[in-house]
Amino acid sequence: MTTQGAQNAKKGMTIWIDADACPLVVKDLITKTVLRTNTPAIFVANQPIKVRKSPLITMKVVGSGFDVADDYITDNVAPGDLVITSDIPLANDVLDNGGQVLTPHGIIYDKNNIKQKLNARDFMDTMRSTGVLDLSQMGGQKPYSDKDKKQFADGLNKLVR
């Protein structure tokens, strides 16, 4: 076990991945980090996804339904754990539970920036539900770029040592 791996095993960090919408390149980077640092990871999704066979990596399939995977992560995350998600309400719950949050785009959420993101999300939900904003007016999510990959890798390396 490397010194870095021994430190992670000692502090007990687990990486939780909200895996349903997680880009493949992010899953690969997580897997490499898990193996390099000896940090356990749990991929949580509504259906099985292919993960590398390792005693450090678990695939947890939860029931289908709205927020079932998010609820599972929220109920099981421990203080100091890291959650990879782009889901803002889940990120807020994780931070409330003492966890850390990194988006697949490399943004680290904390108590200083999550409320602003949550308010913006809620505002957009209200705009859509009242019909003020039509889904056709939304640009959708941009393709995952090399810049996103680098930012994610940098954020992951910063948080998992």
Q: Where are the domains of the chain?
A: 15-131
Give the pLDDT of residue 5: 38
- For residue 39, give both structure tokens: 């940090």
Q: Is the pTM of this model over 0.85?
A: no
Q: Tell me: pLDDT of 10 over 50.
A: no
Q: Are strands 100-102 and 108-109 parallel, antiparallel or unpaired?
A: antiparallel
Give the tokens for residue 157: 């390396």
Residues 91-114 have pLDDT tens digits of 999 999 999 999 999 999 998 887
Whether 107 and 49 have beta carbons less than 8 Å apart is answered as no
Whole-number percent of the chain with pLDDT over 90: 63
pLDDT confidence of 129, banded at 50, 70, 90?
A: low
pLDDT at 123: 53
- pLDDT at 8 (0 to 100): 42
Query: Which has the minimum average pLDDT: 22-36, 77-91, 126-140?
Result: 126-140
